[in-house]
Chain A
Amino acid sequence: MASPNILEEILSNLNHLPELPAVALQVYRLMEDPQTSARDLAKVIMIDPGLTTKVLRLCNSAEYGIPRKIATISEAVSILGYKEIKRIVFVIISHSFLNRPVRGYALEKGELWDNALTCASYAQHIARKVHFMDGELAFIAALLRDVGKVALESYMVGQSELLEDNARKNKISFAEAEENVLGVSHTEVGSQLASRWNLPDSLVTAIAYHHTPSKMPASLSPQDVKLTCIVHLADVFTMMTGKGVGVDGLMYPLDPKVFEVLPLEPDSMELEVLYAELLKLQEKINEITTSFDGVGEVIP
């Protein structure tokens, strides 16, 4: 656990980061309410013209392959569905704070964003594979899992060697070494940020334990444990691709908890086949990335 002073200092230095726009939370809450209509959802999104434009742009991207042009948010909701619109809103919003240089981790602009999108797409695929009921939630959790790196990065500058030595010497993950050396890890900072943004507990938990699902409190719901294991496995596969992997490299172990919780065997062949499937998602990930080309930051 981080010392309260250091964590407080880091969190109080976050003013330079964009807040999660209220619209994201409103969209999230509307989704939880079974009474929500397409019109309600459209109304909330349309309050923000920049967000509206981007949602429509993504809905009309090659990713969805819809033959005719979607012109309004209501139309987008009825064609793609609530959950998909929620996913799109989070992709757009996270772009504004993840698409930036994260120099403390030696990541250029675009690399953390690419990493987040890759992990999110992998998590959604794995969710489907292991019959997790909410693939879009897995997507969002994986998309946001490393948001703590953005907040922690200035404390990382010049520390990577020390952290690496600490991790190797103590046989711990790089995130645990962050806690040893800096007093706080990117997972803890990330979960505190998510909590400050009033994101649901399932997301806060997944961000907090995405490197260490076996350390999750026993009191958590089976769904939350499953979600975190999915994000952990997606993160492992993302590290293997190297996309947006910085000074922390692959200095994280695969937590065997995954095989207790998910219907997967700790078997090389099954995992390798899964990895090959995930690599095939690259084209779709590129389509999302391309749909942001030439579009400036809109939010907040």
Chain B
Amino acid sequence: MNVQTTRETLVSVGQIYITKYAKEIVKATRVATGIVVVVYDTEAKMGGMAHMALPDSKMSYTTGDAPEKYVDLAIPLFIKELTEKGLIKNAAHFKIIGGSQLFNFGGGSGNILNIGTRNAITARTMLTREGIQVEKTETGGNKPRTVILDMTCGQIKVFHPGETPRII
């Protein structure tokens, strides 16, 4: 008898992770200004998560840096890898989560570091460019989010610190 054991995988900043393992919980914890693109393909029974930190490699990429940290580089890589592994676009549910911001009461310097907002915008633009329709976004605000992809049922859950996970 082949008994699969449940495993948990943490996807850190600058990582892309794709799985078909049915008993897996894939997680990105405390995503603040960073952005997570998460997908579950109900036909291929495949899930994936890309966890990125910065919107634009042209601003700050240097040699030796992980391209997966940058939204503009990571998303094409993510989609390519998903496609190679058999992604069925019509059955794939893509969601964008993260992109929080510091408090900014106007007149302060908070807008200078608008990386969260730009991450969210760039993620959507890049996915559209790849021909991907985004089913749901949960971005902005001033709190980090933990993102969970539950491969046992394909559900995607999100929660702020101290809250209960909710399905999005």
Q: Residues of A at under 8 Å CB distance from B?
A: 105-107, 111, 160, 167, 171, 173, 236, 239-247, 249-256, 258-259, 266-269, 271-273, 275-276, 279-280, 282
Q: Which residues of B contact A259 (CB under 8 A)?
A: 109
Q: Across the two chains, which residue of chain B brings its CB closest to A256?
A: B109
Q: Across the two chains, which residue of chain A brings its CB closest to B146?
A: A242
A272 touches B59 (CB 8 A): yes
**Cα–Cα distance between A254 and B101 once the two chains are bound (Å):** 11
Q: Which residues of A contact B100 (CB under 8 A)?
A: 242, 249-250
CB-contact partner of B105 in A171, A239, A245, under 8 A: A171
Q: Which residues of A contact B160 (CB under 8 A)?
A: 247, 249
The B contact surface, by secondary structure, is loop
Is B115 close to A, CB under 8 A?
yes
Whole-angstrom distance from the CB of B86 to the nearest CB of chain A?
32
Q: Across the two chains, which residue of chain B brings its CB closest to A286?
A: B12
B113 touches A241 (CB 8 A): no
User: Which residues in chain B, 110-168, are within 8 Å of chain A measured between CB atoms?
Assistant: 110, 112-116, 141-144, 160-162
Q: Which residues of B contact A107 (CB under 8 A)?
A: 161
**Cα–Cα distance between A112 and B31 once the two chains are bound (Å):** 16
B109 touches A245 (CB 8 A): no
CB-contact partner of B103 in A105, A244, A252, A282, under 8 A: A252
* A-B contact list, 14 entries, CB within 8 Å: A240-B115, A245-B144, A250-B101, A250-B143, A251-B143, A252-B102, A253-B102, A254-B109, A255-B108, A271-B112, A275-B53, A276-B60, A279-B69, A282-B13
Known: A239-B102, A252-B102, A253-B110. A245 touches B115 (CB 8 A): no
Q: Across the two chains, which residue of chain B brings its CB closest to A174?
A: B103
A258 touches B144 (CB 8 A): no
Given contacts A106-B161, A254-B109, 18 further A-B contacts (CB under 8 A): A239-B32, A241-B30, A245-B144, A247-B143, A247-B160, A247-B161, A249-B141, A251-B103, A253-B104, A254-B104, A254-B108, A268-B114, A275-B115, A276-B60, A276-B61, A279-B14, A279-B53, A282-B12
A253 touches B109 (CB 8 A): yes
Whole-angstrom distance from the CB of B64 to the nearest CB of chain A?
8
B34 touches A242 (CB 8 A): yes
**Cα–Cα distance between A236 and B100 once the two chains are bound (Å):** 13
CB-contact partner of B144 in A171, A250, A273, A282, under 8 A: A250
**Cα–Cα distance between A171 and B110 once the two chains are bound (Å):** 13
Is B65 close to A, CB under 8 A?
yes
Q: Which residues of B contact A167 (CB under 8 A)?
A: 103
Whole-angstrom distance from the CB of B96 to the nearest CB of chain A?
16
A254 touches B102 (CB 8 A): yes
**Cα–Cα distance between A245 and B143 once the two chains are bound (Å):** 8
CB-contact partner of A250 in B32, B69, B109, under 8 A: B32
Whole-angstrom distance from the CB of A54 to the nearest CB of chain B?
26
B112 touches A254 (CB 8 A): yes
